[in-house]
Chains A and B, each alone.
Chain A
């Protein structure tokens, strides 16, 4: 009986893995972020509809930040304090920019240098998240009828606790 129970548990685990790998529960678009009152600033609101949030590259190749991307690079160079620790890989912070030049719904993913998901030391990840939240120059857009919202992200390449590259 115990063996059978174990088999069922193992089978169940594999089923869950298979579902995650090949049949995830999709939202409207890959990378969409559902609002979560436990994480998100209650004051942040979309200008348009939930199903009309665009991607940053839908606006062509213009920079979406006041002073262009170099202003973001400079900001992090000035404010990020390198952490002396043997941790390298990538961190992505994804969020939404609304038509009022406000940002919200920040979410983070983290991996090692082999793209395997794993958290960084909080001294690195919290710092990056908070600095990203403090950026105030994201450009908001609107057309004749309504304000537009778009997904933006920043990817940080980390080498031994220091930021060595920023994308996009």
Chain B
């Protein structure tokens, strides 16, 4: 395949180098925590380096030596291990971050266990502890795609408890001022469809369509129409799924395939199948 965009690669490298803003070290100084203030000034030197690079890690090694109980450098160093699939070193580092700042990093670890390693048991453990600590409001994953209650629910589903998954999602959706996640209704619809509750599934996929129309909600809606014996609507939804997929309107994540994602091959097989 010929890629014309070296510029894109250069741009990505630039983004990697400018991965975070400067930390506000003055806050530590104002608190009288001069050890952390000095460590923070050192941490700000990482800004000019790519997070995978030797130089980036050397900066944070120095930060850890200066202030060994500051969670931030452990978390900062863990990211490149996470993105390179090194679950062993990632876990060692993120555990340290969680040990030194549980409230800030427990939810982050839960989201990573779910997204990067499909560690559903570990994600549930982290979420349930965080719910207790945070009076039931865990907040969202680092990429903003999910409220952590949805992560908890999907982990229940993966471990074979779809009813608990549905209950957990609905509980969160009923909260006042809840900001709907970009895939929430899709996942809920799939859960209902798998339970055979086709009307509720259909309603969820239609809500997903209105909120964030993707190839996936069209595909799963087609499957509902198939079960309802409505061939014309089944074909229509599959064709719509294919066209959305082709223009990139599908579940996306640069690092991992999200749960309930579908692929072009699945749409094409469904289209070719006899109804």
A residues lining the B interface (CB < 8 Å): 21-23, 26-31, 54-55, 57-61, 67-71, 90, 92, 94, 109, 111, 113, 115-117, 139-145, 148, 151, 153-155, 157, 164-165, 167-168
Interface assignment of B140: CB less than 8 Å from any CB of chain A: no
- A29/B54 in contact, CB under 8 A: yes
- A23/B61 in contact, CB under 8 A: yes
- B117/A90 in contact, CB under 8 A: yes
Known: A26-B54, A144-B6. A92 touches B86 (CB 8 A): yes
Interface assignment of B177: CB less than 8 Å from any CB of chain A: no
Considering residues B5, B12, B53, B257, which has the most beta carbons from chain A within 10 angstroms of its beta carbon? B257
Q: Which residues of A have CB within 8 Å of B84?
A: 30-31, 55, 94, 151, 153
Question: Who on chain B is nearest to A153 by CB?
Answer: B85
- A143/B4 in contact, CB under 8 A: yes
Q: Which residues of B have CB within 8 Å of A168?
A: 85, 116, 255-257
How distant is B91 from chain A, measured CB to nearest CB, in Å? 4
8 CB < 8 A contacts A-B:
A21-B92, A26-B57, A31-B84, A61-B253, A92-B87, A115-B88, A153-B84, A167-B256
- A70/B52 in contact, CB under 8 A: no
What separation, in Å, do the CA atoms of A30 and B81 have in the docked complex? 7
Secondary structure of the A contact surface, majority rule:
mixed
Known: A22-B61, A68-B264. A117 touches B80 (CB 8 A): no
Question: Who on chain B is nearest to A26 by CB?
Answer: B54
Known: A29-B52, A70-B265, A111-B88. A167 touches B3 (CB 8 A): no
Question: Who on chain A is nearest to B84 by CB?
Answer: A31
How distant is A148 from chain B, measured CB to nearest CB, in Å? 7
Number of chain B residues whose Cβ lies closer than 8 Å to a Cβ of chain A:
44
What separation, in Å, do the CA atoms of A151 and B85 have in the docked complex? 11
Interface assignment of B9: CB less than 8 Å from any CB of chain A: yes
Apart from A60-B254, A68-B263, A141-B3, what 6 extra A-B contacts exist at CB < 8 Å? A30-B80, A31-B81, A55-B84, A58-B12, A145-B6, A157-B117
What separation, in Å, do the CA atoms of A59 and B12 have in the docked complex? 8
Interface assignment of B271: CB less than 8 Å from any CB of chain A: no
Secondary structure of the B contact surface, majority rule:
helix
- A144/B254 in contact, CB under 8 A: no
From B1, B81, B252, A141 is in contact (CB under 8 Å) with: B1
What separation, in Å, do the CA atoms of A154 and B263 have in the docked complex? 18
Q: Which residues of B have CB within 8 Å of A111?
A: 87-88
Interface assignment of B231: CB less than 8 Å from any CB of chain A: no
- A30/B57 in contact, CB under 8 A: yes
Q: Which residues of A have CB within 8 Å of B2?
A: 141-143
- B64/A57 in contact, CB under 8 A: no
How distant is B73 from chain A, measured CB to nearest CB, in Å? 10
- A167/B81 in contact, CB under 8 A: no
What separation, in Å, do the CA atoms of A29 and B50 have in the docked complex? 9
Interface assignment of B266: CB less than 8 Å from any CB of chain A: yes
From A27, A59, A60, A167, B85 is in contact (CB under 8 Å) with: A167
Q: Which residues of B have CB within 8 Å of A28?
A: 53-54
How distant is B256 from chain A, measured CB to nearest CB, in Å? 5
Contact with A along B87-99 (1 / 0, CB 8 A): 1100110000000
Interface assignment of B260: CB less than 8 Å from any CB of chain A: no
Interface assignment of B167: CB less than 8 Å from any CB of chain A: no
From B80, B87, B254, A90 is in contact (CB under 8 Å) with: B87
Question: Who on chain A is nearest to B95 by CB?
Answer: A115
- B88/A94 in contact, CB under 8 A: no
Q: Which residues of A have CB within 8 Å of B252?
A: 61
- A22/B64 in contact, CB under 8 A: yes
Considering residues B81, B87, B257, which has the most beta carbons from chain A within 10 angstroms of its beta carbon? B87
- B3/A29 in contact, CB under 8 A: no
